[in-house]
Amino acid sequence: MGPRTPTLVVPVDLKKKPWEQELPLHNRWHPQIPPVAEVKAGEFFRIEMVDWTGGVISDNDSASDIKFIDLSTVHYLSGPIKVSDVDGIPAKPGDLLSVEICNLGPLPGDEWGYTATFDRENGGGFLTDHFPSATKAIWYFEGIYAYSTHIPGVRFPGLTHPGIIGTAPSKELLDIWNERESEVQENGLKSLKLCEVLHSRPLANLPSPKGCLLGKIDKGTPEWERIAKEAARTIPGRENGGNCDIKNLSKGSKIYLPVFVEGANLSTGDMHFSQGDGEVSFCGAIEMSGFLELKCDIIRGGMKEYLTPMGPTPLHVNPIFEIGPIEPRFSEWLVFEGISVDESGRQHYLDASVAYKRAVLNAIDYLSKFGYSKEQVYLLLSCCPCEGRISGIVDSPNAVATLAIPTAIFDQDIRPKSRRIPVGPRLVRKPDVLKCTYDGNLPITRNPAAST
Amino acid sequence: MGPRTPTLVVPVDLKKKPWEQELPLHNRWHPQIPPVAEVKAGEFFRIEMVDWTGGVISDNDSASDIKFIDLSTVHYLSGPIKVSDVDGIPAKPGDLLSVEICNLGPLPGDEWGYTATFDRENGGGFLTDHFPSATKAIWYFEGIYAYSTHIPGVRFPGLTHPGIIGTAPSKELLDIWNERESEVQENGLKSLKLCEVLHSRPLANLPSPKGCLLGKIDKGTPEWERIAKEAARTIPGRENGGNCDIKNLSKGSKIYLPVFVEGANLSTGDMHFSQGDGEVSFCGAIEMSGFLELKCDIIRGGMKEYLTPMGPTPLHVNPIFEIGPIEPRFSEWLVFEGISVDESGRQHYLDASVAYKRAVLNAIDYLSKFGYSKEQVYLLLSCCPCEGRISGIVDSPNAVATLAIPTAIFDQDIRPKSRRIPVGPRLVRKPDVLKCTYDGNLPITRNPAAST
Amino acid sequence: MGPRTPTLVVPVDLKKKPWEQELPLHNRWHPQIPPVAEVKAGEFFRIEMVDWTGGVISDNDSASDIKFIDLSTVHYLSGPIKVSDVDGIPAKPGDLLSVEICNLGPLPGDEWGYTATFDRENGGGFLTDHFPSATKAIWYFEGIYAYSTHIPGVRFPGLTHPGIIGTAPSKELLDIWNERESEVQENGLKSLKLCEVLHSRPLANLPSPKGCLLGKIDKGTPEWERIAKEAARTIPGRENGGNCDIKNLSKGSKIYLPVFVEGANLSTGDMHFSQGDGEVSFCGAIEMSGFLELKCDIIRGGMKEYLTPMGPTPLHVNPIFEIGPIEPRFSEWLVFEGISVDESGRQHYLDASVAYKRAVLNAIDYLSKFGYSKEQVYLLLSCCPCEGRISGIVDSPNAVATLAIPTAIFDQDIRPKSRRIPVGPRLVRKPDVLKCTYDGNLPITRNPAAST
Amino acid sequence: MGPRTPTLVVPVDLKKKPWEQELPLHNRWHPQIPPVAEVKAGEFFRIEMVDWTGGVISDNDSASDIKFIDLSTVHYLSGPIKVSDVDGIPAKPGDLLSVEICNLGPLPGDEWGYTATFDRENGGGFLTDHFPSATKAIWYFEGIYAYSTHIPGVRFPGLTHPGIIGTAPSKELLDIWNERESEVQENGLKSLKLCEVLHSRPLANLPSPKGCLLGKIDKGTPEWERIAKEAARTIPGRENGGNCDIKNLSKGSKIYLPVFVEGANLSTGDMHFSQGDGEVSFCGAIEMSGFLELKCDIIRGGMKEYLTPMGPTPLHVNPIFEIGPIEPRFSEWLVFEGISVDESGRQHYLDASVAYKRAVLNAIDYLSKFGYSKEQVYLLLSCCPCEGRISGIVDSPNAVATLAIPTAIFDQDIRPKSRRIPVGPRLVRKPDVLKCTYDGNLPITRNPAAST
């Protein structure tokens, strides 16, 4: 036995384009994208990945790359990986694939990332009506910490995670996706109550050959044409996991993914150095290239045993996660609240999305009082380790959502303060020396720092 | 100077009805409900409170009391408390009232609580279409722990908090509330996308003299009649705080409440021994009577300095919270995910409420595989220390919400497991003795427990 | 079934002296001190206790009471409690008694405590040669927090615990104690390496009728005279638990105590609102009266099954503890180190006591630079939630011990700081505006607070 | 600006011997060992290091390499690094050198380590009289986790840290070390109370040319001969930091080291994947090669400002540490206690070393009941993330020390358990179905798992 060095099963070369990689990447979900590698249960292996855009965004002070980005090309994923058990028998539809994240991080020599908002006409974000223009902040990593010259005065440890991890859908599941997303695309504007404020964001991104990269399937072949028309975009999280953006899915986590095709066909990408719950600016985490070190196991028949369909077919399931034991330890949090009343003063019935939007807007306004522009705070809340909670979802008509921000990430005290001499015993300093009469006449000097 | 025993400013007698208490309770928000007590900034004081129903629910095995409850009477609040500064000058509109929760807990002799779901025809809950009948579970407290004979096999420490804490609204703010909630009540059925599935829940609860209790204002007087018609119900959280249901608002927390009337008129109630994020079953926390020990401070002009109106008037603000330093320490969490596709398979556009609903349903189905009925799990997830997060709110068309459950609250291992001999070095046990050849021929016995 | 209110089995009346209590207290360990109460396994019961001195220390600014205290009378314990199983069969020698601490806290109306150092001639403390005089600080409690006007500028949540919890020794065990402690008393001065510096502290406190209180055994009877001559002092922790001073033994903890006499005869006392590891000033925790709410269980034959004698007889065992799930959450700690070289520069061989002494002295000197007298810091480090660790115990000739202090307990920043403009990207602020060129010409304002 | 990739200032090649490295290593402390590299304040740089023995220990099942190791050669350190400020002015004696650990870990391709005990005749360990033979366990790393086939059934995340980090001593400080350690070496046997039980361990390791490696100073030169006779061994921690073995000194930590020579001359080595407090088996952490990514700053005059001499000269100081924000999150700990009574039953006066020894022995005996040999547990407690605390150091005559072990590292439940049906409400399962009478006649099924 030797050192437990992971086998590199998917390398990437950051000097090459996504379509030039030795093991080609893909940016769509489809059952017929062939595996580029194979692993066995218990094997300790490593996957490298490009950032979600495949290197389109540069480390500079201009947001032009963000403004003009072609979103038909994202997200570039590494894989698919075929998974078999120790006897070489592949995972089968109906199994659960357990994936343990033993380690992850940035690629050596590429220790930086970016957080951005898209232009309202090109993708937008959660608050696109408030912040319609493209913006970008660059982050540099010093080991566990990230800092940005575009958002000075903050520094925080990353809870690094893959934004996307998922198995390939079966054709049947893919058809379900395409049908329901077409429906929302076509009928959404009529039925959705948020339509006025979000009109410029695409309601869904349907399959389209434009920008499509399908791994080992050569572009231009009839097979490519057919698959490109069917293959699902990677933007939303779905039954196969995918873009779940769970910020705590870091070192030591385990993911139980449903298997829909033989071999499971595991793909992953969209590495985040850090993300706030909700990833509100859309390109909102600290986006980067990176690596994952994984171990898989197969739970035979696990879908039936552990997952319950939550819809019309047995395929309407969701993955289960166990989050890891390592997390930055913050002791103080400032919490902003939102209720489901929108900026026009209109009441929405138990709408957690509206409530969370308002909590984020409240936090942005508050933090902008401490020397930041609102654009800076919007980017910061997308990527710092803040927690977005659904606090109340039953108290008609208001949903209550909260956004909790660890105060330690700032180099100034951001808590509300009274300007007067504060009241209360802790802070009252009488002008005479506070002392206990000690036997040996040892004076207890008072705290001079406290008297000012 | 003497011991720092809090001054009891609002006592309650649990043998009396809410309207019989020495300092009368109230169950509506209105600027003209007179204060029942007064405190100064820095004073350390204690408020006692009845449970939110005022003692209507009994410690027994029947859910009849829940089924036939008259919800026009809730929540019974203690207060209002008028707050002044150390010089006796009251808080003024535009100030921020800082309230520190130094301590809280159940009332001695009343160490129990309940979690319930209302009947679909009488209040319902987040999942009322799945669970239409009234149910109830009784919880007993052993110091920090709660357990229930109705949901055996779980026991957890409480993160006790007041569900409701708020200041009185001004008349202007009250009018805003009543107008926008009338609007949703009247037009809601047409415009709301969730209307089909939630049709039997009231969209809003508008002012109504029925069940109204207005503190020191005598019932039947013209003043009572007028106020009862205007006073807002306490169900939703609003600009004044109110029913915010933030589960971490426990010992050591601080709340910064906007002041809308002279004296601030602080009221509080709806004590929860423990609550899960979202309080999904509606009567969903472990509801109990209890006490709070508080300290207030006034930040003069703090509304303008720290809060930004998020709507058409300067009154459209929300409180800010600092959560306390004491929280049960859980190391393992099992996380369930939901996306904004409903049970019929229909796609909803970035709807966090639908996503969270599905995450909760997934968790209920999963845990029901471990010997619980779904009704038991629904009640459990309403009140145990689980976290509801908005993970992704931008990846069109799916919002992703997660529900994280600490595994330590169960007396069995609830994680997914492979039935086969697990793979991987940790668990592989070769049949021969594992040993290192030691110099002194000291055998390293292998772990017998591990060989099975 | 009713609320789970604990049965009060040992009440105390703080207006009475220890010997006047309804259920008499005791301040010695002896098998023949009769139980004052009886509980069954599974019963939820409450014990009240006086502070360790029985009310001798007052809430005032004079340390005279500390200087002239008669230490022959401490610690006043509540109990013994006889424990039986659900069938009424008492715990037997050889069993393990499991004691769960469900809740604890100060007694209502007595929410204060004190930390003190004894005079060198009357008990001293860990650093008595550096701090030879009696001192005292009074602490007031505001719910979870303690603060002191004698040590201003600090405030911290308590991790409240009983300093003493133990079972009665058998006569055989008592004889072992008395023999080995006599030996150290008689021969200690010759053999102990620390003898020069600690000469004035008693090496051991042998049985003595002076100050003795023996519960239900009447003073002056022949039985009292006999037992008083044999009964062990309560100062040191021993095989029966006793004065173990484990600062984390708070709510939710479990203690597995060996049973040496029929019924176990559980006693407890010496409640601490908070304590630092080591309790260095001797009267070093925040000493107070208080209550415990407990549940016991009996593990039949558990001593043999779980404890291994670590000495010449089967009685040479120690209890086992499980600490509870609730602890204040601190994120930043400043750590002071000591090595086993004493203040004269002399090397001691792998001596953790010397190393810890030096770590504490280092911390005292450091913190005294922030406006405190050394006496204040000595008291503070005895009672605040600081951690004393044995970091290295093998690297000849130096033991390394550390003392970690949570920085959040101070109202000033106590970390070392450079006076110059600090270097490093986080803090470099160029005089020109830091900005990213945004598409919409939205300027990113720089952080004004950071430029000063 | 580009990615923040650390500058590699000290590379190592694991295929080469310590004396063959491009930048030569050293294994002694001396002011005249020349720097091998230079960094500026704020620079982000990387140091690689061999394991403390320089590759003498192999990944196999034989402990022969441990038995016959030549301890005159350890620890091999990387450095010294000369540190200057941003203007190029070197650190000066009297300054404080602040060193931030931004990142660290094993070297790629060398992801394994070992824990061992030395033979009693060749170094021994804390419990050498109980475990006199050489033993060894190999650990493999899977990202954050370590596991061992020699100690099956445990797996834990590492809190990786450098065992040694320190600045070069001045000649004056070196003389102090050599003098005081000679004294203990010569007179120790007579004066030390532990001498009987520890007689075979060296009391100190005085300078000796044997095994000496002095960096850039060529062996055999007169300069080498002179320095080799003076240079201090690296075994003990001292005033310059050195072998402090603080297990929490991981990612995000900061160390404030006194500067004794111009340039500070920072050296580091002895990387530990994980260590228990005390590192009890001596070669007790999971020893490995590795890398550190660091940032330095200089606090001018910081020694005088922040450190207080604790001895006869201004050089008798100790470093200060800030531990980082990332630590594995454990919720349950089993705590073993020791008092200062040794295995013969003899009383030692307030001796924390004896107390800790007994706590460790208690833990070893206890855990050996769960299928492990005592040798396995001894090794495990040296390297797993257990905490060694000084609980009581004042209660004459017993010091109380505790050892807390996180239960989650085991794949079995190691808590004491009653064999009977446990008592108490949580676990009582009545034979009839527990249910609440629900309105809709929905039966609450009871938990079948709980009925057995």
* Minimum CA–CA partner of B369 in chain D: D447
Q: Which chains touch A (3 or more CB pairs under 8 A)?
A: B, C, D
Domain ranges of chain D: 7-322, 333-409
SS3 of C190-238: HHCCCCCCCCCCCCCCCCCCCCCCECCCCCCCHHHHHHHHHCECCCCEE
Residue B191 is predicted with a pLDDT of 52
| Average pLDDT value for residue range D265-285 | 95
pLDDT of residue D329: 85
If you count residue pairs, one on B and one on C, with CB atoms under 8 Å apart, how many are there? 109
The answer to whether residue D312 scores a pLDDT higher than 70 is: yes
With vertex at residue A109, the alpha carbon angle to CA A105 and CA A114, rounded to the nearest 5 degrees, is 65
The answer to whether the Cβ–Cβ distance between A423 and B86 falls below 8 Å is yes
Q: How far apart are CA C124 and CA C134, in angstroms?
A: 8
**D245/C41 touch (CB, cutoff 8 Å), yes or no:** no
- Stated as kind and residue range, the H or E segment containing A182 is helix A171-191
State whether B3 and C328 contact (CB < 8 Å): no
Give the nearest partner residue to B103 out of C44, C112, C143, using CB atoms: C143
On the question of pLDDT at A191 being above 60, the answer is no
Report the percent of chain D where pLDDT is more than 70.
88
Tell me which of C239 and A187 has the higher pLDDT. Answer: C239
Cross-chain residue pair C330–A330, CB shorter than 8 Å: no
Structure tokens at C452: 């000063």
Phi, psi of B429 (to 5 degrees): -120, 105
CB contact under 8 A, D300 and C339: no
The alpha-carbon gap from A71 to the nearest alpha carbon of chain B, in Å, equals 12
Given the DSSP bridges, would you call strands A44-49 and B333-339 parallel, antiparallel or unpaired? unpaired
Q: Give pLDDT, residue C187.
A: 77
The partner residue sitting opposite A3, judged by closest CB among D44, D140, D408, is D140
The predicted-structure confidence for C274-286, as pLDDT tens digits, reads as follows: 999 999 998 999 9
Cβ A367 vs Cβ A377: under 8 Å: yes
**Which of the four pLDDT bands, split at 50, 70 and 90, describes residue A190?**
low
What value, to the nearest 5°, has the Cα angle with vertex A135 and ends A130 and A136? 140
A313 C-beta neighbours (distance < 10 Å), count: 12
Both tokens of residue A39?
């692993």
- Architecture of the domain spanning A333-409: Roll (3.10)
Q: Inspect the interface and report whether the beta carbons of A144 and D324 lie closer than 8 Å.
A: yes
B294 min Cα distance to partner chain A (Å) = 12
Hey, what amino acid is at D112?
W
Rounded distance, CA B342 to CA D259, Å? Answer: 65
Residue D310's pLDDT is 82
* Structural fold of domain B7-322: Jelly Rolls (2.60.120)
| Distance (Å, whole) CA C269 – CA C18 | 12
B1 contacts on C by Cβ (under 8 Å) = 59, 138, 140, 149
Residue A327's pLDDT band (cuts 50, 70, 90): confident
Q: Do C164 and C236 meet the contact criterion of CB atoms below 8 Å apart?
A: no
Which DSSP letter does residue C75 get? P
Considering only CB atoms, C370 lies closest to which of A133, A138, A449, namely A449
pLDDT at D445: 35
What average pLDDT does the structure give for chain C?
88
A200 confidence band (pLDDT: 50, 70, 90): low
- C243's tokens: 């004065």
Chain B partners of A184 at a C-beta cutoff of 8 Å?
Answer: 347-349, 397
Say which residue, D95 or A122, is predicted with more confidence: D95
Answer yes or no: is pLDDT of D189 > 70.
no
Is there a contact between D325 and A325 if contact means CB atoms under 8 Å apart?
Answer: no
DSSP state of A243: E
Measured from the Cβ of residue C190, the count of other Cβ atoms closer than 10 Å reads 7
Q: How far is A352 from chain B (nearest CA, A)?
A: 5
| Contact criterion met (CB < 8 Å) for D143 and A251 | yes
- The pair of structure tokens assigned to D104 is 């660290």
- pLDDT higher than threshold 90 for residue B184: no
Q: Is the pLDDT of residue A445 over 50?
A: no
Q: Copy the structure tokens of residue A445.
A: 């000097």
Q: What CA–CA distance (Å, rounded) separates B406 from B410? A: 9
Give the confidence band of C120 by pLDDT, cuts at 50, 70, 90. confident
- Looking at residue C189, what is its pLDDT? 57
pLDDT of residue C193 exceeding 70, the answer is no
Position with higher pLDDT, A273 vs B418 = A273
Pairing outcome for strands B387-392 and D145-147: unpaired
Write out the two tokens for B410. 């169960």
Whether B325 and A334 lie within 8 Å, measured CB to CB: no
Residues C137, D139: Cα–Cα separation, whole Å = 50
Asked whether the beta carbons of residue C397 and residue D204 sit closer than 8 angstroms, the reply is yes
Give the pLDDT score at D69.
94
Residue among A329, A372, A426 minimizing CB distance to C447: A372
Specify the pLDDT at position D190.
56
Nearest residue on chain A to C330, alpha-carbon basis: A331
Residues B440-450: tens digit of each pLDDT: 433 333 333 33
Q: What is the pLDDT of residue A423?
A: 33
As a whole number of angstroms, the distance between CA D182 and CA D62 comes to 35
- Smallest CA–CA distance from B155 into chain D, residue: D426
Average pLDDT of the segment spanning C262-267: 98
pLDDT in tens, C358-396: 999 999 999 999 999 999 999 999 999 999 999 999 898
The chain D residue lying nearest B135, using CA atoms, is D438
Question: At what angle are helices A374-383 and A352-367 packed, to 10 degrees?
Answer: 120
Q: Which two tokens stand for residue C136?
A: 């005292």
SS3 C362: helix
Look up the ipTM and state it: 0.89
Q: What is the mean pLDDT of residues A130-153?
A: 95
Whether A194 has a pLDDT exceeding 80, the answer reads no
Residue of C362, C321, C314 whose CA lies nearest to C339 = C362
Question: Which residue of chain B has the CA closest to A4?
Answer: B425
Contacts of D329 in chain B (CB under 8 A): 329, 331
Task: Inform me whether the pLDDT recorded for C237 exceeds 90.
Answer: yes
Q: What is the structure's pLDDT at A4?
A: 82
Contact: C184, D425; criterion CB under 8 Å: no
Query: What is d(CA C35, CA C37) in angstroms, rounded to the nearest whole number?
Result: 6
What is the widest separation between alpha-carbon atoms in chain D? 96
Q: Do B447 and D370 touch (CB under 8 A)?
A: yes
Burial of B14 (0-12, 13-18, 19+ CB in 10 A): middle
Percentage of residues of chain C with pLDDT beyond 90: 79
Q: Which helix (H) or strand (E) holds C357?
A: helix C352-367
Q: Do A149 and C434 touch (CB under 8 A)?
A: yes
- Which chain D positions have a beta carbon within 8 Å of B130's beta carbon? none
- 8 A C-beta contact, residue C304 and residue D272: no
Measured in angstroms, the CA of A48 and the nearest CA of chain D are apart by 15
Q: How far A254 CA lies from chain C's nearest CA (Å)?
A: 24
Query: What residues of chain B lie within 8 A of the CB of D426, using their CB?
Result: 147, 155, 411
In this complex, the residue of B4, B109, B252 whose CB is nearest that of residue C3 is B109
